[in-house]
């Protein structure tokens, strides 16, 4: 029942929560493995979905998908719940904690005082674990943090019932049952197949590999369509989504490469290891793109040439990933 | 990225140096491993730029509160990194109503209950809010 909860720091909140919760159940799984089985890697650019007047960009699948997919694919039973009232949401959390269940929580980073202020925006899809209570305070394992944290009930309620998009509405989840045998191989195969499918066969231009080219085209237009300050903020947001907290570097590309390597070792497949090496190189290309974007932002350089060059760097990432995921999708299982 | 190339350039603003995040990099043996990173110049700059923009806008709004063109609600909305749509949701009002509340003459007539709602959202007292921007207390 009251097994001590062990906290491990991870790159990304949701794959980190997933790995830490499974480890608590005695399932030895790494963050990259959880991320890959959960088909976490993705790309999306949504010019019409503006936050603070800036178009949205994402390098990962929608929030909640990773945990759900991992649970499905590894045959793990979970309980998930949303609430209409904060009082019920906190009562349900207290009950789960009293039963000794570390509980995953969805909330807004803006209301988590243990995070440095620099990171606290109204981002409502952050995942962390409550693993106990001490007095009135909740004990928190937030996978992006090096150590453990705690939070007052008042702040926790605010985080769980933040408004905006999406609204967490007190969403919480915990594991209720695990199978005797964990079949990673099956999960790996399903995870990879779906990732390739999502990347290449999404018919909408804003999602998957084609969205990289959409963004590249937009960036080319920035100096023509935007004032210098706005152009720099637009670019800056892309870089933040790619490199700021929680991607493990290069917009999750390194994290996914780590998964492919581990999968290759687990399944004794050299081809997966080869794919891992390729994606590491592609990730280096994304880092180079970010480095050059920062250079342009610093000088507020709206020279057409520099934006053209940046757009070209991004296109190369898109082209290389197109080949990469096409070949990965052709793997024989 | 090799482990030896993981940047360690601290975020020296807004407590950013307090968090060393995990990134994945390739070690000498060719194996991926998690490495903590203090930060990277490129991302630090992007983040700092976003904060600078917020603070520039906030300073402009502060000036407007002081010269009586907008009410403190406009200032605290921005200070809490909110947009009109989000503040309206928290306040349980339509956006046009919140826009009206940003007019000093409308703000002056808001009832206590409404002021309580705003003060609660901004995590301050009603007194702090209504006195904000007046001559003697102008350090928000």
CA distances from B7 to A94, A162, B25 (A): 41, 34, 11
The ipTM of this complex is 0.94
What superfamily would CATH give domain B50-131? lambda repressor-like DNA-binding domains (1.10.260.40)
Span A139-165, pLDDT tens digits: 999 999 999 999 999 999 999 999 998
Span A79-101, pLDDT tens digits: 999 999 999 999 999 999 999 99
Q: Give the span between the Cα atoms of A194 and B26, in whole angstroms.
A: 26
Side-chain-facing half-sphere of B93: CA atoms under 13 Å:
17
Quick check: A63 contacting B, CB < 8 Å?
Answer: no
pLDDT at A299: 84
Q: Give the span between the Cα atoms of B91 and B93, in whole angstroms.
A: 5
A300 pLDDT exceeds 80? Answer: no
pLDDT at A243: 95
Please state the rounded mean pLDDT for residues B90-99. 98
B59 pLDDT exceeds 80? Answer: yes
Quick check: A246 contacting B, CB < 8 Å?
Answer: yes
Tell me the three state secondary structure of residue A147.
coil
Q: Give the span between the Cα atoms of A4 and A131, in whole angstroms.
A: 9
The H-or-E segment that residue A309 falls in is helix A304-329
Structure tokens at B10: 């601290």
- If one compares B136 and B60, the residue with the highest pLDDT of the two is B60
A168 pLDDT exceeds 90? Answer: yes
Q: What band does A1 get if pLDDT is binned at 50, 70 and 90?
A: very low
* A273 CA: distance to closest CA in chain B (Å): 10
Q: What band does A26 get if pLDDT is binned at 50, 70 and 90?
A: very high
* Domains with residue ranges and CATH for chain A: 13-177 (3.90.70.10), 184-329 (no CATH)
The percent of residues above 90 in pLDDT, for chain A, comes to 90
Flag if B34 and A52 touch (Cβ within 8 Å): no
Span A67-79, pLDDT tens digits: 999 999 999 999 9
pLDDT at B140: 46
Quick check: A230 contacting B, CB < 8 Å?
Answer: no
Flag if B24 and A255 touch (Cβ within 8 Å): yes
Side-chain-facing half-sphere of A264: CA atoms under 13 Å:
19
Domain ranges of chain B: 3-39, 50-131
Contact B73, B102 (CB under 8 A): yes
Contact A78, A178 (CB under 8 A): no
Quick check: A166 contacting B, CB < 8 Å?
Answer: no
Tell me the three state secondary structure of residue A285.
helix
* A121 CA: distance to closest CA in chain B (Å): 7
B137 pLDDT exceeds 60? Answer: no
Tell me the three state secondary structure of residue A148.
coil
Span A49-70, pLDDT tens digits: 888 789 999 999 988 899 999 9
Angle at A231 between CA A307 and CA A50, to 5 degrees: 125
A176 pLDDT exceeds 90? Answer: yes
Q: Give the span between the Cα atoms of A189 and A179, in whole angstroms.
A: 19
Please state the rounded mean pLDDT for residues B47-75. 96
Cis before residue A166, ω within 30 degrees of 0? yes
Mean pLDDT taken over chain A: 95
* B43 CA: distance to closest CA in chain A (Å): 6
Structure tokens at A150: 């705690």
Please state the rounded mean pLDDT for residues A315-327. 98
- DSSP-derived secondary structure for B16-72: GGG--EEEEEE-TTS-EEEEEE-B-HHHHHHHHHHHHHHHHHHHHHHHHHHTTSS-H
DSSP-derived letter for residue B8 is B
Please state the rounded mean pLDDT for residues A181-199. 97
The percent of residues above 70 in pLDDT, for chain A, comes to 98
């Amino acid at each position: 029942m009251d097994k001590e909860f062990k906290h491990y720091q991870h790159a990304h909140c949701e794959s980190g929560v997933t790995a830490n919760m499974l480890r608590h159940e005695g399932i030895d799984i790494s963050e990259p493995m959880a991320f890959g089985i959960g088909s976490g890697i993705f790309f999306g650019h949504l010019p019409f979905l503006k936050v603070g007047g800036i178009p949205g960009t994402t390098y990962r699948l929608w929030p909640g998908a990773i945990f759900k997919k991992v649970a499905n694919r590894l045959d793990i039973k979970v309980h998930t719940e949303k609430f209409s009232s904060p009082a019920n949401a906190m009562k349900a959390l207290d009950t789960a904690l009293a039963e000794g269940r570390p509980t995953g929580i969805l909330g807004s980073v803006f209301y988590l005082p243990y995070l440095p202020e620099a990171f606290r925006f109204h981002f409502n899809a952050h995942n962390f674990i409550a693993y106990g209570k001490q007095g009135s305070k909740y004990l928190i394992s937030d996978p992006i943090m090096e150590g453990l944290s705690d939070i007052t009930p008042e702040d926790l309620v605010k985080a769980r019932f933040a408004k905006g998009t999406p609204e967490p509405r007190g969403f919480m989840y915990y594991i209720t049952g695990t199978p005797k045998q964990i079949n990673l191989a099956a999960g790996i195969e399903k995870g990879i197949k779906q990732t390739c499918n999502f990347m290449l066969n999404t018919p909408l231009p804003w999602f998957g590999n084609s969205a990289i080219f959409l963004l590249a085209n937009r960036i080319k237009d920035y100096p023509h369509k935007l004032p210098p300050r706005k152009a720099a903020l637009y670019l800056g947001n892309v870089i933040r989504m790619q490199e700021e907290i929680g991607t493990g570097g290069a917009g999750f590309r390194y994290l996914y490469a780590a998964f492919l390597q581990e999968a290759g070792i687990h399944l004794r497949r050299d081809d997966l290891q080869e794919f891992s090496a390729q994606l590491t190189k592609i990730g280096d290309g994304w880092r180079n793109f970010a480095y050059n974007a920062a250079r342009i932002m610093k000088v507020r350089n709206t020279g057409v040439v520099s934006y053209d060059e940046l757009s070209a760097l991004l296109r190369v990432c898109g082209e290389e990933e197109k080949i990469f995921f096409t070949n990965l999708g052709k793997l024989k299982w | 990225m090799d482990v030896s190339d993981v940047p360690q350039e601290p975020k020296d603003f807004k407590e950013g140096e307090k968090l060393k995040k995990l990134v994945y990099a390739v070690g000498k043996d060719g194996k991926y491993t998690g490495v903590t990173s203090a930060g990277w110049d490129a991302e630090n700059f992007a983040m700092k730029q976003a904060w600078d923009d917020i603070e520039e806008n906030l300073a402009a709004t502060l000036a407007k509160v002081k010269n009586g063109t907008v009410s403190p609600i406009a200032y605290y909305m921005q200070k809490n990194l909110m947009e009109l749509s989000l503040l309206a949701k928290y306040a349980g009002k339509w956006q046009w109503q919140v826009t009206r509340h940003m007019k000093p003459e409308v703000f002056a007539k808001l009832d206590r209950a409404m002021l309580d709602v705003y003060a609660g959202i901004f995590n301050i007292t009603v007194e702090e809010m209504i006195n904000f921007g007046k001559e003697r207390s102008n350090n928000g």
